[in-house]
Structure 1
Amino acid sequence: LLARLLGERQLPSLLIAPTTPHGRRVSQYWAEHPGLPTLKAYDRPVEEWKAELFNDTPASLTTTLGAIAATGSLILWPTREEPRLMSLVPPVHFALLKASEIRDNFYQVQQEYAWAQGMPTNALLVSGPSKTADIEQVLAYGAHGPKDLVVLILEDQ
């Protein structure tokens, strides 16, 4: 599905986190299916490839910690392997969400992860693509993040 969506959107490359389980799986699938868009690995400090990341990286793939059904929000939990820039910089963000990790509300998430004992340093709630109407009250997408957010829901076996 991911390969098909990249093709339909005519995206020439996809940024992945190669050391994560989904990054390894995508790399393996790509190796077995030549002709797919180029994979880019987020495997070095941003200072070494900042221009390429910001100017020539059309799409990325990240995981989610889960989602909140009441608000339709994804919970992103950036890590060293999958930093926040992966979901913020490319114009298209593909987010993997396990169906079993969808919770009813934010309170349930806080309880399950014991956030009262210590909040994570960088948990993010994303309820859609970036947008603003600050300029002349005209709605614009992609102002402070991706213009297109695609959620891929993975069913548990």
Structure 2
Amino acid sequence: MSARDRILGRLRDASPREPAVSDLERRIDAHFDARRAVPPPAPDVLARRMQAALVAVRAQAWCAHAGEWPVRLAASIAEAGVSRIVVDTASPEGRALRAALPAGVEALAFERPLEDWKEELFGTVDAGFTVARSGIAATGTLVLAPDAASPRTVSLVPPLHIALVYAHTLHADLHQALHAERWQDGMPTNLVLATGPSKTSDIQQTLAFGAHGPRWTWVVIVTDAPDVKEAA
């Protein structure tokens, strides 16, 4: 038997450490459970916490009802001077926003390989619109699950990232999000946690926005059940 075989054999025969891991998990769960309110906060309470946390990280956030957000968001987009925005037209939210946009704002779909329109995307697109999978109210964090129709590029490249998140998908904290969405059973291959606009600082602690992502972040928190109508 080779040295390698002996080492592998000792590893296989070693006592499993699962009880220690389980004990640690129980202690972590108990810590977070003790910090949470009973009963759990209602979605509208989490929405207000999410909004406050986003404002604290220099994002713009507002709450809106399901039937009103497209018109309200479209008006804000026009007022900000956005002329081109990437929108996932395969989603009902994307179609609703596209239908509400004024004539001076062009909605683009991510239908081409990035290499075919990289210069156009980086140079002429003002904003990207995404629908968040969920959110973490304590920190104002968006949980994004990019896919082919709305890849990570949409929330990363344009200077303005506009996200929509439903209040009923909000979690109090990261620990609750992990358990409620059962990340331990298998996360998407590209799960992104985004908190406010991109920011960085140099050795002199000078804070700069937009160096590695969007310079501005807007978040619409929909406070009631989805009611997005199909748009032609």
TM-score above 0.5, yes or no: yes
Unmatched runs of 5 consecutive residues or more in structure 1? none
Aligned length: 154
Higher fraction of strand: 1
CA contact (8 A) 2:127 2:159 kept: yes
AA at the equivalent of 1:7: A
Q: Which of 136, 153, 172 does residue 85 from structure 1 map onto?
A: 153
Residue 113 (structure 1) aligns with: 181
Q: Deviations over 1:108-139 (max 9, x none)?
A: 11112211122321111111100100264311
Following superposition, the deviation at residue 66 of structure 1 comes to 1.0
Q: Which runs of 5+ in 2 are unaligned?
A: 1-71, 226-232
Please give the secondary structure, in 2, of the residue aligned with 1:93: strand
Secondary structure at 2:147 match in 1 = coil
CA contact (8 A) 1:17 1:43 kept: no
With CA pairs under 8 Å and 6+ residues apart, which has the higher RCO, 1 or 2?
Answer: 2
Determine whether 1:72 maps to 2:140: yes
Q: Does 1:3 align with 2:74?
A: yes
Inter-partner Cα distance in structure 2 for 1:118 and 1:97: 22
Work out which of the residue numbers 40, 55, 62 in structure 1 matches 2:123.
55
1:127 to 184, 195, 201: 195
Q: Does the 8 Å CA contact 2:74/2:100 hold for their aligned counterparts?
A: no
Distance, in Å, in 2 between the alignment partners of 1:96 and 1:135 is 35
For residues 135 and 145 of structure 1, the distance between their equivalents in structure 2, rounded to whole angstroms, comes to: 20
Query: Whose Rg is larger?
Result: 2
Give the number of the structure whose residues are more often helix, by fraction.
Answer: 2
Distance 2:215 2:224 in 1: 29
Matching residue of 1:37: 105
Secondary structure at 1:125's aligned position in 2? strand
Q: Report Cα offsets for 1:83-121 as digits up to 9, x if no partner.
A: 000000000010001111111111111112211122321
What's 1:20 paired with? 91
**Percent sequence identity over matched residues?**
41
Residues in 2 aligned to 1:26 and 1:20: alpha-carbon distance in whole angstroms: 10
| Correspondence 1:104 to 2:172 | yes
Aligned residue for 2:107, secondary structure, equals strand
**TM-score, normalization by structure 2:** 0.63
RMSD of aligned residue pairs (Cα, Å): 1.5
Tell me which amino acid in the other structure corresponds to 1:14.
I
Instruction: Tell me the TM-score normalised to structure 1 length.
Output: 0.91
Match of 2:35 in 1: none
In the aligned structure 2, how far is the partner of 1:26 from the partner of 1:71? 27
Q: Is the 8 A contact 1:18 1:43 kept in 2?
A: no
Three-state SS of the structure 1 residue aligned to 2:81 is: coil
Q: List per-residue Cα deviations over 1:13-66 (Å, max 9, x = no partner).
A: 111111122122223334xxx524111111111111111011111111101011
